[in-house]
């Protein structure tokens, strides 16, 4: 039952996003008197239709609840529209001057088809003031460009609206630091709660989403962070990391897998161009046998702090050992237990922490958290909504870049089937209904931002491909690409997109049967 609900939710999400996109084309087309033959919600046989007397546009609701479309007059250019110069003057051979006729209805079993063009006195032939009867293909380049851009603009606005509503109810995340772990490199750097992390390796961070994206594929050994302190001072910290893994190949390797050690040198960068380097200290981590983990923070001042996770003197737990000068052991060592977790026993907590290090996750992190679910006023909500959608769009471009450079494979892509699996995981999780609603709403915003970016890619068959043809037209001094050539190229690339969609769907189905999507 949950799978059926998830499928219906996914269909609803995609249909809303497509209809909103097409509505953007419709609004701007009407502003510039481009004739709209039909605006349809959903696809397939018509359930309801109504033709406006003023413009002759057909509004319909169809039987298959998948998306919708806005059919513009002359949206698909026909060869007879081209003159000897490739149609640069927008001329055609129509005797009535009405522009190309686009058939929007295919004969099927639903009954006789209604013609969308009725050149009579009924008003279906809208008087647009130009000899081409409102043909999209005959409009100036800037009008065609605005109509094309309008669709993705509506997807962007929808994503922004959804995010703003979520932030109004749940608060928003900021790049301000909420806390810093005691046993992490950022403690040596002096990062404090309330500081803002502005950049990671020279890349701007506008929201925590950006940092997650930058570190998703891999974390380099040498990294830098630019920070704005609470007093407004800008500082830059650098980290140089080395990792040494020594597996045990002996007979006891099952019980004694080996050791992992990590060293992180921490320094500050100041002066002009941040070229002056000042050493601050070193953090070392040593994991042995999945039984003990020792983390040592050594400052240049001589002060040091040691964290010990594991078994000591027959007792499993977390210890903190401190001394002011490590070279003077005769000063003695103070040792104390620290609070662990409210939900886990000491033994469970330590086991989980050592396993976290053993997985390599902690070796790649720096030990700070952002401020989450911050409650702000109206302008804070609006401003951070723009920042968050900006991060969503950036995530699409970064993902595409990761695919191009091979950092991610095609298996990382998900289509409607894969997204349905994610929706199903939200539907079936044990959580309040409000949390599920906002999770699906946030997913809708992400998909809407994805559609906006993907549709703008300069690929024939997409809105961005049509914009590319307009750009080529401008570079040719206003001479349009041959309609026949444009249609052939668009069909070829559209076929390739269909092939990609099939491959992605195949990957989703494989993950589905492997139990990684619907569980």
pLDDT in tens, 110-163: 444 444 444 443 344 444 445 556 889 889 999 999 999 999 999 999 999 999
Question: Would you say residue 266 has pLDDT above 90?
Answer: yes
Number of domains observed in the structure of the chain:
3
23 found inside a domain: no
| Same domain, yes or no: 336 and 450 | no
Does residue 15 belong to any structural domain of this protein? no
Give the whole-angstrom CA distance, residue 62 versus residue 325: 78
44 and 97 share one domain: yes
> Cβ neighbours of residue 480 under 8 Å, at least 6 residues apart?
77, 82, 86, 87, 88, 469, 473
Give the pLDDT score at 245. 81
20 in a domain, yes or no? no
163 and 213 housed in the same domain: no
In the 8-state DSSP scheme, what is residue 115? P
Percentage of residues of the chain with pLDDT beyond 70: 77
Count Cβ neighbours within 10 Å for each residue of 41-71 and write b for 16 or more, e otherwise. Answer: bbeeebeeeebeeebbbbebebeebebbbbb
Is 124 inside a domain boundary?
yes
Comparing 180 with 428, the larger pLDDT belongs to 180
Write out the two tokens for 414.
Answer: 């998900």
513 in any annotated domain: yes
Domain that holds residue 229: 173-374
The answer on 194 and 160 residing in a single domain is: no
* 113 and 196, same domain (yes or no): no
Residue 400 confidence (pLDDT) above 90: no
pLDDT confidence band for 220 (50 / 70 / 90): confident
In the predicted structure, residue 419 carries a pLDDT above the cut 70: no
Q: Is the pLDDT of residue 176 over 90?
A: yes
Does a structural domain hold residue 298? yes
Burial class (CB in 10 A: 0-12, 13-18, 19+), 1: exposed
- Please indicate, yes or no, if residue 364 is contained in any of the structural domains: yes
Q: Is the pLDDT of residue 99 over 50?
A: no
Question: Which tokens belong to 479?
Answer: 């001479």
What pLDDT, on a 0 to 100 scale, did the predictor assign at position 515?
A: 57
The overall average pLDDT reported for the chain is: 80
The helix or strand, by DSSP H or E, that contains position 250, with its residue range, turns out to be none
Residue of 424 and 462 predicted with greater confidence? 462
Specify whether 256 is located in the same domain as 273: yes
Residues 221, 342, single domain; the answer is yes
Closest CA to 418 of 389, 443, 395, 393: 443
112 vs 267: CA distance, rounded Å: 77
Which of 316, 345, 374 represents a domain boundary (last residue)?
A: 374
Per the domain annotation, does 276 fall within a domain? Answer: yes
Residue 121 and residue 260 share a domain: no
Q: What pLDDT is attached to residue 460?
A: 86
Last residue of a domain, one of 346, 374, 402: 374
Clarify whether residues 196 and 311 are in a common domain: yes
pLDDT for position 340:
62
C-alpha closest to that of 354 among 314, 310, 315, 311? 310
The Cα–Cα gap between 61 and 44 comes to: 9
pLDDT at 428 over 50: yes
Are 235 and 355 found together in one domain? yes
Q: Verify that 156 and 229 share a domain, yes or no.
A: no
124 Rama class: left (phi>0) / alpha (psi -120 to 50) / beta: alpha
Residues 159 and 222 in one domain: no
Average pLDDT over residues 393-404: 85
Domain stop point among 90, 119, 138: 138
């Amino acid at each position: 039952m949950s799978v059926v609900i998830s499928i219906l939710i996914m269909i609803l999400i995609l249909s809303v996003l497509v209809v909103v996109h097409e509505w953007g084309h419709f609004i701007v087309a009407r502003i510039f008197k481009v004739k709209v033959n039909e605006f349809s919600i959903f696809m397939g046989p018509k359930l309801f239709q109504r033709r406006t007397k003023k413009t002759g546009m057909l509004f319909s609701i169809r039987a298959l609840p998948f998306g919708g479309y806005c059919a513009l007059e002359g949206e698909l250019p026909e060869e007879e529209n081209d003159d000897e110069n490739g149609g640069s003057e927008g001329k055609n051979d129509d005797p009535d001057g009405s522009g190309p006729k686009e058939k929007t209805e295919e004969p099927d079993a639903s009954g006789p088809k209604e013609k969308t063009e009725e050149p009579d006195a009924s008003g279906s032939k809208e008087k647009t003031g130009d000899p081409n009867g409102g043909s999209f293909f005959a409009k100036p380049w800037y009008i065609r460009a605005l109509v094309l851009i309008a669709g993705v603009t509506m997807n962007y606005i929808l994503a922004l609206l959804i995010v703003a509503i979520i932030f109004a109810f749940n608060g928003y995340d900021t790049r301000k630091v909420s806390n810093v772990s005691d046993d992490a490199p950022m403690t040596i750097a002096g990062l404090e709660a309330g500081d803002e992390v502005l950049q990671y390796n020279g890349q701007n961070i506008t929201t925590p989403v950006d940092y997650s994206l930058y570190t998703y594929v891999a974390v380099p050994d040498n990294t830098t962070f630019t920070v704005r302190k609470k007093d407004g001072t800008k500082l830059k910290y650098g980290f140089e990391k080395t990792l040494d893994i020594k597996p045990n190949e002996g007979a006891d390797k099952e019980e004694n897998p080996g050791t992992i050690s990590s060293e992180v040198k921490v320094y500050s960068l100041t002066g002009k161009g941040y070229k002056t380097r000042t050493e601050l200290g070193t953090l070392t981590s040593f994991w042995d046998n999945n039984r003990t983990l020792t983390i040592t923070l050594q400052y240049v001042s001589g002060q040091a702090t040691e964290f010990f996770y594991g078994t000591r003197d027959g007792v499993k737990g977390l210890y903190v050992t401190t001394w002011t000068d490590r070279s003077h052991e005769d000063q003695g060592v103070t040792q104390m237990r620290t609070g662990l977790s409210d939900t886990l026993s000491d033994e469970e907590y330590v086991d989980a922490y050592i396993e976290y290090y053993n997985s390599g996750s902690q070796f790649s992190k720096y030990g700070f958290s952002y401020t989450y679910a911050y409650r702000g006023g109206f302008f804070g909500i609006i401003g951070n909504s723009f920042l968050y959608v900006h991060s969503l769009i950036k995530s699409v471009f970064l993902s595409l870049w990761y695919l191009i450079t091979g950092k991610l494979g095609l298996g990382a892509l998900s289509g409607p089937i894969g997204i349905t699996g994610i929706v199903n995981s939200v539907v079936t999780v044990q959580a309040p209904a409000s949390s599920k609603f906002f999770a699906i709403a946030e997913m809708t915003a992400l998909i809407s931002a994805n559609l906006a970016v993907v549709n703008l890619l300069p690929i024939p068959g997409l809105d961005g491909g049509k914009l590319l043809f307009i750009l080529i037209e401008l570079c040719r001094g206003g001479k349009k690409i041959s309609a026949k050539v444009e249609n052939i190229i668009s069909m070829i690339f559209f076929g390739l997109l269909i092939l990609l969609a099939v491959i992605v769907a195949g990957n989703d189905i494989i993950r589905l049967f492997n139990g990684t999507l619907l569980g």
